[in-house]
A and B are shown apart, each in its own frame.
Chain A
Amino acid sequence: MRTSRTDRRAAAGFLMPFVVLFAAFFVLPIGYAIYQSLLSVERAGPLGLGGSRTVFAGLSNYTEAFADSAFTDSILRVLLFAAVQVPAMIGLATLLALLLDAAAARAVPFFRSAYFLPYGVPGVIASILWGFLYVPGVSPIVDLLGSAGLDVDLLGSGSVLWAIANIVTWEFAGYNMLVVVAQLKSINSDLYAAAQIDGANAWQVVRYVKLPLIRPAIVLTTVFTIIGTLQLFAEPLVLRPVSTAINTSYTPNLAAYTEAFVNNNYSLAAAQSVILAVAACVLSFGFLRLVGRKGDDR
Chain B
Amino acid sequence: MTTLVDRPADRPTEPSPPDGGRRRPGRGPRAGWKILVVGLLTAFALYFLLPVYWLVIAATKSTGDLFGTFGLWFADFRLVDNLTGVLTYDDGIYLRWMLNSVLYAGVGAAVATLLAAMAGYALAKYRFRGREAVFNVILAGVLIPGTALALPLFLTFSKIGLADTYWAVLLPSVVSPFGVYLCRMYAATTVPDELLESARIDGAGERRIFTALVLRIMSPALVTVFLFQFVGIWNNYFLPLVMLSDPKLYPITLGLTSWQSFADRQPELYQLTVGGAFLSVLPLMAAIVVLQRFWRGGLTEGSLKG
Give residues in A with beta carbon < 8 Å to B.
1-3, 6-8, 10-15, 17-19, 21-22, 24-30, 32-33, 36, 96, 98-104, 107, 110-126, 128-130, 132-133, 137-140, 143, 170, 173-174, 178-179, 181-183, 185-186, 189-198, 200-202, 204-206, 208-210, 212-213, 215-217, 220, 223, 227, 230-231, 233-234, 237-238, 241, 253, 256-257, 260-261, 266, 269-270, 273-274, 276-277, 280-281, 284-285, 297-298
Contacts and interface: CB of A to CB of B under 8 A. Distances in A.
Interface in B24-63: 24-28, 33-34, 37-38, 40-41, 44-45, 47-52, 54-55, 58
Binding site secondary structure of chain A? helix
Interface of B: 1-2, 4-5, 7, 9, 11, 13-14, 22, 24-28, 33-34, 37-38, 40-41, 44-45, 47-52, 54-55, 58, 66-67, 70-72, 115-116, 118-119, 121-123, 125-128, 134, 137-138, 140-141, 143-149, 151-156, 171-172, 174-175, 177, 180, 193, 206-207, 210, 231, 234-238, 242, 252-253, 256-257, 260-261, 264, 273-274, 277, 280-281, 284-285, 287-289, 292, 295-296, 299-300, 303-304, 306
A284 to B, nearest CB: 5
B145 A231 contact: yes
A8 B144 CA distance: 29
B119 A19 contact: yes
Contacts of A217: 304
12 contacts: A12-B128, A15-B119, A30-B148, A32-B155, A102-B26, A114-B49, A121-B281, A133-B51, A183-B300, A227-B143, A256-B151, A276-B148
Contacts of B235: 121-123
B5 A194 contact: yes
Contacts of B174: 21
What are the 4 closest A-B residue pairs judged by CB atoms, nearest first? Answer: A140-B71, A216-B306, A11-B126, A14-B122
A223 B143 contact: yes
A18 B175 contact: yes
Contacts of A230: 145
Given A14-B210, A182-B300, A190-B9, A273 B44 contact: no
A193 B144 contact: no
Contacts of A208: 2, 4-5
A198 B4 contact: yes
B4 A10 contact: no
